[in-house]
Amino acid sequence: MDFDWIDCHIDLKKIIPREIEEAFEDPFSIRLLPESDNNGADARYFNLGKTINNRFLFSVFWTDGKRCRVILCREMTNDEISFYERKNAEWL
The model's pLDDT over 1-55, given as tens digits with 9 standing for 90+, comes to 789 888 778 887 899 999 999 999 999 999 998 766 665 667 889 999 999 999 9
Instruction: Give me the pLDDT at residue 77, please.
Output: 97
Task: Enumerate the domain spans of the chain.
Answer: 2-33+42-91
**What does the pLDDT read at residue 56?**
98
Task: Name the strand (E) or helix (H) holding 3.
Answer: strand 2-3
* Torsional sign, CA 44, 33, 53, 18: negative
Q: Per-residue confidence at 69, pLDDT binned at 50, 70, 90? A: very high
Q: How far apart are CA 55 and CA 1, in angstroms?
A: 21
Question: How many C-beta atoms surround the C-beta of residue 47 within 10 A?
Answer: 21
More confident residue, 8 or 71: 71
> What is the rounded CA–CA span in Å between residue 44 and residue 82?
23
Q: Is the pLDDT score of 58 beyond 90?
A: yes
